Amino acid sequence: MVKKGLKLVSKLINTVLIVALLSTASLVLINVFTEGEPEVFGQELKVVYSGSMEPFIQTGAIIGINTMADKEAMQPGDVVMYQSEPGVFVTHRIVELVETGQGTVYRTKGDNNADVDQQLLLPDNIYGLHGNINIPYVGFAMDFANSQMGLVLLLMIPGVIFLFYSGKMLVEGTREIKAHKKQLEEQKLTSESA
């Protein structure tokens, strides 16, 4: 019974290590082979660094942004990413359409903010529309994986653990084979003496 439990735990650890290694390798390959931001299912993956959209989008989440969305056709309720100043992106919800002499602009608000945003949002400043990807907390890991130290550690650690574990399994397998051979030899000796 204990042996079966240990084998099950062993298989589970093996599976987790393989999944971790493949996930890390996939993340690294996506980052290496995509120019600019990584894309999945036609959506750019972006990390959210503030809690202004909590609980809908958690701080450190990875979200998908559809950069091909029609920026002139946004509606109240849409969550958009826009550039508030050069290099600074904000993800907020459109709460109102405002008609001006130059066309429609948007009033935005973070779900977790008490007040609406001070400035109205021009369609030209919209980077994209939030898609269907929203994975809490994984953004911290993605940022770490994008760093040189993170890249090295995320590739090496699962690999070293996997090699150590494989070596351990090889030693255990060798012991079992030797024990089985010894048992067969003892049975052969017992049957010859009988």
Q: Structure tokens of 49?
A: 């660094």
120 DSSP assignment:
P
pLDDT tens track for 161-176: 778 877 888 888 888 8
**pLDDT beneath 50, residues of the chain:** none
Which of 3.40.1410.10, 3.40.50.300, 2.10.109.10, 2.40.50.100 would CATH assign to domain 38-135? 2.10.109.10
pLDDT tens track for 37-73: 677 778 888 888 888 888 998 888 888 899 898 888 8
Strand ranges inside 5-119, DSSP E: 39-40, 43-47, 62-66, 79-85, 88-100, 103-109
The pLDDT value recorded for residue 21 is 66
User: Cα–Cα distance between 80 and 128 in angstroms, integer?
Assistant: 6
The pLDDT value recorded for residue 95 is 92
Residues of the chain with CATH 2.10.109.10: 38-135
Integer CA distances (angstroms), 71 to 56, 101, 106, 127, 155, in order = 22, 18, 10, 8, 39
Amino acid letter, 182 = K
The pLDDT value recorded for residue 61 is 86
